[in-house]
Structure 1
């Protein structure tokens, strides 16, 4: 099934529906921000639609603009695009923008949803010429599907196996030219043959406070929220450099201002609301502080193993490692050593605690989590 035109009267019926091959038409999920909608739909409505509207990431934006403009001038499909970076920085938004700039439909699916080669074959065989296929979390795709994707990306062809055993035959199926946009939070897990088939690779970095404030200004306008510059700056400073978190905090501060204030998102409302939702001045939330408090108060600053630390805060080890740890390490609160995690001097200071006498917060050696020194 190909993507539908925005004028299709049946588009609204398919907005929340899933296609037979497990993907869905993403453009149907974007709605007016002023309508009654759930959080996920509102997030979709806040996404920029064009590269010119996309704030931050100037390097990736300029590079991607060049790739797309050159393809338009050649009247050809652009090279396959790989977007990497931490969650919430705009990889999905950029994939939507690629389709909008090319004026082509977009098909959305994810790596975990493709567990068999047949799943991918069903999606590929239904693509229209020039269509954009967005594969989120592409590094989690099954190995058999990856190998099929190699051939499809390079030669626009897949081999469909008919029959089993010695009598099985491979029937080549030609595909129309299309563009794969892959997104991954862990590009190192992509096999080299797959990574090399992307003609453009863009890495998204965390945003600075100025760019986040610009994003919040736009979001406040779309949500019809009255906000002051200092209120938005307060939210931006606690958003961990991530637009997704910034927009989520804006909606919570809006709720607080409507219930307990005058309906205006100012600095006082932002501070009171974020304190209520356990987000401190540096953007640390309940889990972040729980990890630091466990390290400092229960284990004397560490080092302590990841699994032991996770039990101490009542979370899974994967949650601590993937949700809390990246930000704590990036901001210098946590140190990863060959013997485990340890609290830095900044962590003790932030919690208002004094390190035990005769000890010092570690700074080196650091490692990459695999026992190798960085």
Structure 2
């Protein structure tokens, strides 16, 4: 690290290892993945808020849930089943934990892919105590036999277990204690109609704005004992794609950089330098995002281009480009989806340092 003065303005320069300066192959950046990656669960447990008041952002959802839970507590009954829908990393699991905490009951957790047979679900439901909260993550991926059993459990608090096979098979009804199901899904459109209709309350989780994410970063920094300035916290938040999980992950990477280069102090200059090292630009784009834009703009004149062609240009699978890169690029106004293919917007041209042609969509 070195310091220099130019026209009375002090500038700080950080020396990076040679391997950090070498461009890496295009691939999805784990820092900017909204899904859980190895190491997240060890840290997220200590960062999760415990009450609705502590939960940052999602004001409408918090207000609605406060009414639903408050009304149920006043009547002394279990609240309606709750569906939490929205992109990954916005706090659906945390919200399920808060619901159980607010109700003062136990939380049982599982996931849709883990419920392959109806018997798996029946065993879990039969062990619930009255008022318990059952949380099923990625509920749209639950197996059909288990889903059909869930219908009766949600409506009548009863399941029918089939014993035997063929003509001698009998159905044994099993009463289960009244409970509240909290389902989380990143793809609400994949839920079947009968399952979706059995939820009494649906909460749509939205992406965070920079102000709320700055508050998230500041809170996390306090818990992790990171010395960060307000300007640096806002810088990290502005590059986090509107997702708290990404904001927390970027803060941990900035902390690593600061511990090595500045004895732990995170200023605006340190945050920016750290994010350069991890290939996160000022709009939250990583190497793969910029590679897709470069292929679209420089390689194909702005499009229209199919996803398979873009994937071939960056050496990735089409599903990776479509599911990892494209959603944020569309939301950031960089790509427009048309019937003929993907088209670069005027903003994408400017971001790549080029002049947009007159026919480019956007301003």
Is the shorter-chain TM-score for this pair beyond 0.5, marking a shared fold? yes
Provide the C-alpha distance between the structure 2 equivalents of 1:120 and 1:317, rounded to a whole number of angstroms: 35
SS of 1:176's partner is: coil
Deviations 1:269-289 (A, max 9, x none): 110000100100011112211
Measure how far apart 1:38 and its partner are. 4.5
Pairing 1:1-374 to 2, within 5 Å after superposition: 38-355=39-356, 360-362=359-361
Deviations 1:97-127 (A, max 9, x none): 0011111111111111112222211211221
SS of 1:342's partner is: strand
Provide the C-alpha distance between the structure 1 equivalents of 2:324 and 2:85, rounded to a whole number of angstroms: 17
Provide the C-alpha distance between the structure 2 equivalents of 1:117 and 1:86, rounded to a whole number of angstroms: 28
What are structure 1's unaligned runs of at least 5 residues? 1-36, 364-374
Provide the C-alpha distance between the structure 1 equivalents of 2:166 and 2:245, rounded to a whole number of angstroms: 49
Provide the C-alpha distance between the structure 1 equivalents of 2:117 and 2:341, rounded to a whole number of angstroms: 37
Provide the C-alpha distance between the structure 2 equivalents of 1:197 and 1:307, rounded to a whole number of angstroms: 39
SS of 1:52's partner is: coil
Deviations 1:37-72 (A, max 9, x none): 944211121010100100111100000011111111
SS of 1:177's partner is: coil
Provide the C-alpha distance between the structure 1 equivalents of 2:200 and 2:284, rounded to a whole number of angstroms: 36
Count of aligned pairs: 325
> What is the TM-score normalised by the length of structure 2?
0.87
- Greater shift in the superposed pair: 329-338 or 111-120: 111-120
Measure how far apart 1:360 and its partner are. 2.1
SS of 1:53's partner is: coil
Measure how far apart 1:210 and its partner are. 0.8
Instruction: Determine the structure 2 residue equivalent to 1:31.
Output: none
What are structure 2's unaligned runs of at least 5 residues? 1-37
Measure how far apart 1:198 and its partner are. 0.6
SS of 2:45's partner is: helix
Q: Which has the higher contact order (CA 8 A, sep 6+)?
A: 2
Deviations 1:111-152 (A, max 9, x none): 111122222112112212111111111111111211111111
Provide the C-alpha distance between the structure 2 equivalents of 1:288 and 1:127, rounded to a whole number of angstroms: 45
Provide the C-alpha distance between the structure 2 equivalents of 1:351 and 1:168, rounded to a whole number of angstroms: 67
Provide the C-alpha distance between the structure 1 equivalents of 2:315 and 2:273, rounded to a whole number of angstroms: 27
Instruction: Determine the structure 2 residue equivalent to 1:371.
Output: none
Deviations 1:332-366 (A, max 9, x none): 101111111121111111011235x6x62246xxx
SS of 2:53's partner is: helix
Provide the C-alpha distance between the structure 1 equivalents of 2:326 and 2:348, rounded to a whole number of angstroms: 13
Provide the C-alpha distance between the structure 2 equivalents of 1:39 and 1:266, rounded to a whole number of angstroms: 24
Provide the C-alpha distance between the structure 1 equivalents of 2:121 and 2:194, rounded to a whole number of angstroms: 17
